[in-house]
């Protein structure tokens, strides 16, 4: 079905023309003109609705031959209600119950049409073989730009290749190893602050807001690894911009995003956003985002000055030892070294990492805590492994352990890696990933016209019995244990694990995410016995496009050892 504005705007213009003609030909009948205008407007709306909801899905859609879930209603489409809390649930149900060959039709409320991609062959073709044919929805790009002030190059096909190519050195395993002491240091610092809170509140029923600690730790880690800048959100919790940094993504995940997302499904909101953006930027969220961008701009400015001074000192042609891959330097420094990113892009990229990384990784650690408390035997087994295999002196930094050795040590803990991988499989942060056909193309031999919307129900792949075996619906870290299973969890198909996306647009930060998760989970588990107080309700999800607990985990912690 065409966008509302796509059909509505021409009709709306026609009604204006009709009204003006009416007015000019009957100068004395202003009232008649108004009535004519209103009737014509209403008529245009009815025509749009009738065409879009009744005629188009039945007679005009190019996807008539594809299966569609039964029981479509005009108002809700294939959904059960107008504003579903979890937009991915109905899509997943449909994909799992309606027989199809890899593609099916799905109608959102008001009969907005999308194609659901249900088989790995179709995912492979869309994301790996034809990535340039399928882009991100324009509305998302525009909203991100308006809100963050950043043009995220990964969202536009032409900027994407350069972005990946020149940032590669900052995302290699060698580089991540070199920054492990930073990640571990902050994770350890978090546990020290929690211990301090527990000492100040000796009541055994005292609960700790672990979400807040995780967010702050994430921001500090990201500040350091992206900008070489310490936001100090852990040490100075409520400090102006820093506090906003921490709170902002929590707010963005709420109903506002869900509504915006819903409306954007139907309407090209770009003209509206243009008009509204000054107002949006005056809202608390807008102001906080502006402050974040200002902080990032200043940090990038400082880095550029330092870099230029350093280059001048060493001589521009001299080979700089110990920099780039594996240097322990921050991502912005490595980007500067590539020499291809103008200042504005450096800022945009830093904003991208700060938007994409902390929230998703913190959510994954929260789910790990949830599962470790739902099944305490997982927690106990993890603790045993950590205590057995990691020397406390090494972790406390007293043995001069290098980052590489630290990462190797953490990665050599099979159960820790298994728990982290299983959490990411079971709780994909983006459960429904949309794409839009950038040009006329095809998928599994089905012609796809430019502008068609395609949905990847990530959970359908992540929890498919066909791909993962009979226990696919269970949270079971053991599937990642054993020779050959550490990297694929026993799923033979490369597209079975879709939490990080696939193809050239796959999550560039996935190894960072795993390293951070391992550090944070290990730091918490070796230090505390963890109990989630709100276990009954903590699994309820935030109504948002992201898979995140609504309440977060309220935890009771018992300190296990003191260093
Ligand atoms: C558990 C944590 C994470 C999850 C589940 C996750 C998930 C994803 C997914 C699904 C995509 C692909 C979106 C698409 O289809 O286009 C993506 C892209 C991206 N992620 Fe992550 N991510 C995580 C952590 C991180 C971290 C830690 C960073 C930064 C260090 C990061 C940076 C990015 C960037 C820059 C992109 C865009 C990549 C591109 O298109 O070239 N992510 N992420």
- Tens of pLDDT, residue by residue over 424-476, are 999 999 999 999 999 999 999 999 999 999 999 999 999 999 999 999 999 99
Least confident of 212-226, 264-278, 281-295, 500-514: 264-278
| pLDDT confidence of residue 537 | 95
Helix (H) or strand (E) holding 185: helix 180-200
pLDDT band at 399 (very low <50, low <70, confident <90, very high): low
Mean pLDDT over the full length of the chain? 85
ipTM at complex level: 0.98
Measured from the Cα of 516, ligand 1's closest atom is 27
Distance from the alpha carbon of residue 500 to the mean position of ligand 1, in angstroms: 6
* Residue whose CA is at the smallest distance from ligand 1 atom 19: 507
| pLDDT confidence of residue 169 | 93
First to last CA, the chain: 63
Distance from the alpha carbon of residue 139 to the mean position of ligand 1, in angstroms: 19
Least confident of 123-127, 371-375, 395-399: 395-399
**Vertex 55 angle, CA 54 and 61, to 5°:** 110
> Which stretch, 9-13, 337-341, 512-516, has highest mean pLDDT?
512-516
| 117 Cβ contact list (under 8 Å, min separation 6) | 102, 103, 123, 126, 443, 454, 455, 456, 457
Residue 528 has pLDDT above 80, yes or no: yes
Averaged pLDDT, 293-322: 79
Measured from the Cα of 513, ligand 1's closest atom is 27
What is the location of CATH 1.10.630.10 in the chain? 149-430+499-559
| pLDDT confidence of residue 14 | 74
* Residue whose CA is at the smallest distance from ligand 1 atom 21: 507
Residues annotated as binding site for heme?
A: 507
For a mutational test of ligand 1's pocket, the pick from 132, 331, 509, 512, i.e. the residue with the most ligand atoms closer than 8 A to its C-beta, is 509
Which residue has 């700060």 as its token pair?
Answer: 354
| pLDDT confidence of residue 16 | 76
Question: What is the percentage of the chain residues whose pLDDT exceeds 70?
Answer: 81
| pLDDT confidence of residue 507 | 95
Distance from the alpha carbon of residue 169 to the mean position of ligand 1, in angstroms: 17
Averaged pLDDT, 135-150: 72
Question: Which CATH code is given to the segment(s) 149-430+499-559?
Answer: 1.10.630.10
* Residue whose CA is at the smallest distance from ligand 1 atom 5: 429
Q: Are 397 and 469 in contact (CB under 8 A)?
A: no
Measured from the Cα of 435, ligand 1's closest atom is 15
pLDDT band at 322 (very low <50, low <70, confident <90, very high): very low
Question: What is the percentage of the chain residues whose pLDDT exceeds 90?
Answer: 53
For a mutational test of ligand 1's pocket, the pick from 356, 363, 421, i.e. the residue with the most ligand atoms closer than 8 A to its C-beta, is 356
* Residue whose CA is at the smallest distance from ligand 1 atom 13: 501
CA distances from 509 to 39, 145, 245, 431, 439 (A): 54, 21, 20, 18, 29
Averaged pLDDT, 512-518: 96
Residues framing ligand 1 (Cβ under 6 A): 154, 160, 164, 352-353, 356-357, 360-361, 364, 424, 429-430, 433, 499-501, 505, 507-509, 512-513
Residue 41 has pLDDT above 80, yes or no: no
Residue 400 has pLDDT above 70, yes or no: no
Residue 351 has pLDDT above 50, yes or no: yes
Measured from the Cα of 154, ligand 1's closest atom is 40
CA–CA distance, 517 with 530 (Å, rounded to integer)? 16
Distance from the alpha carbon of residue 334 to the mean position of ligand 1, in angstroms: 19
Distance from the alpha carbon of residue 303 to the mean position of ligand 1, in angstroms: 24
Distance from the alpha carbon of residue 226 to the mean position of ligand 1, in angstroms: 14
| pLDDT confidence of residue 511 | 95
Helix (H) or strand (E) holding 532: strand 528-532
| pLDDT confidence of residue 52 | 82
User: What is the three-class DSSP state of 217?
Assistant: helix
Averaged pLDDT, 516-537: 96
Residue 247 has pLDDT above 60, yes or no: no
Residue 114: DSSP 8-state: E
Residue 248 has pLDDT above 60, yes or no: no
Measured from the Cα of 456, ligand 1's closest atom is 15
pLDDT band at 26 (very low <50, low <70, confident <90, very high): low
Averaged pLDDT, 247-257: 55
Give 82 or 321, the one with higher predicted confidence.
Answer: 82
Helix (H) or strand (E) holding 456: strand 453-457
pLDDT band at 545 (very low <50, low <70, confident <90, very high): confident
């Amino acid at each position: 079905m065409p966008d509302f504005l796509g059909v509505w705007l021409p009709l709306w213009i026609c009604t204006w023309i009709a009204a003006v003609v009416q007015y000019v030909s009957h100068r004395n009948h202003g009232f008649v003109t108004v009535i004519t205008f209103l009737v014509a407007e209403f008529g245009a709306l009815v025509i749009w609705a009738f065409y879009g909801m009744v005629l188009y899905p039945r007679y005009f859609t190019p996807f008539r031959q594809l299966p569609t879930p039964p029981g479509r209603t005009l108002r809700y489409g294939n959904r059960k209600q107008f504003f579903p809390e979890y937009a991915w649930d109905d899509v997943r149900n449909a994909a799992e119950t309606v027989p199809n060959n890899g593609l099916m039709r799905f109608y959102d409320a008001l009969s907005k049409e999308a194609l659901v991609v249900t088989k790995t062959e179709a995912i492979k073709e869309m994301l790996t073989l034809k990535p340039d044919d399928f882009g991100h929805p324009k509305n998302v790009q525009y909203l991100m730009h308006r809100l963050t002030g950043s043009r995220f190059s990964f969202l536009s096909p032409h900027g994407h290749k350069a972005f990946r190519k020149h940032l590669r050195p900052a995302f290699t395993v060698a580089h991540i190893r070199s920054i492990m002491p930073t990640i571990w240091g902050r994770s350890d610092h978090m546990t020290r602050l929690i211990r301090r809170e527990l000492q100040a509140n000796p009541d055994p029923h005292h609960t700790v807001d672990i979400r807040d600690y995780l967010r702050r730790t994430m921001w500090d880690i990201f500040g350091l690894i992206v900008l070489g800048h310490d936001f100090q959100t852990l040490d100075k919790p409520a400090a102006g911009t820093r506090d906003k940094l921490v709170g902002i993504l929590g707010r963005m995940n709420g109903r506002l995003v869900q509504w915006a997302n819903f409306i954007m499904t139907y309407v090209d909101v770009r003209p509206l956003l243009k008009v509204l953006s000054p107002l949006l930027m005056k809202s608390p969220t807008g102001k906080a985002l502006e402050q974040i961008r200002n902080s990032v701009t200043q940090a990038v400015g400082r880095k550029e000055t330092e870099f230029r001074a350093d280059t001048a000192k060493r001589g521009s042609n001299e080979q700089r030892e110990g920099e780039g891959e594996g240097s322990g330097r921050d991502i912005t420094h490595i980007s500067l070294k590539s020499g291809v990113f103008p200042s504005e892009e450096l800022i945009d990229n830093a904003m991208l990492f700060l938007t994409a990384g902390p929230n998703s990784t913190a959510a994954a650690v929260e789910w790990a805590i949830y599962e470790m408390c739902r099944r305490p035997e997982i927690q106990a087994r993890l603790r045993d492994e950590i205590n057995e295999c990691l020397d406390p002196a090494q972790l406390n930094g007293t043995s001069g352990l290098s980052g590489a050795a630290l990462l190797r040590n953490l990665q050599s803990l099979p159960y820790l890696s298994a728990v982290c991988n299983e959490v990411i499989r079971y709780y994909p942060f983006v459960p429904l990933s949309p794409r839009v056909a950038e040009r006329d193309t095809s998928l599994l031999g089905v012609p796809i016209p430019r502008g068609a919307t395609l949905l990847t129900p990530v959970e359908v792949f992540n929890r498919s019995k066909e791909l993962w075996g009979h226990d696919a619906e269970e949270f079971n870290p053991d599937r990642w244990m054993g020779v050959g299973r550490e990297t694929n969890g026993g799923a033979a198909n490369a597209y079975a694990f879709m939490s990080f996306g696939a193809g050239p647009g796959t999550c560039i930060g996935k190894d960072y995410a795993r390293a951070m998760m391992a550090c944070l989970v290990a730091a918490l588990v070796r230090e505390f016995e963890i109990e989630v107080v709100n276990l009954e309700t903590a699994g309820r999800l935030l109504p948002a496009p992201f898979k995140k607990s609504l309440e977060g985990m309220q935890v009771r912690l018992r300190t296990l050892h003191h260093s």
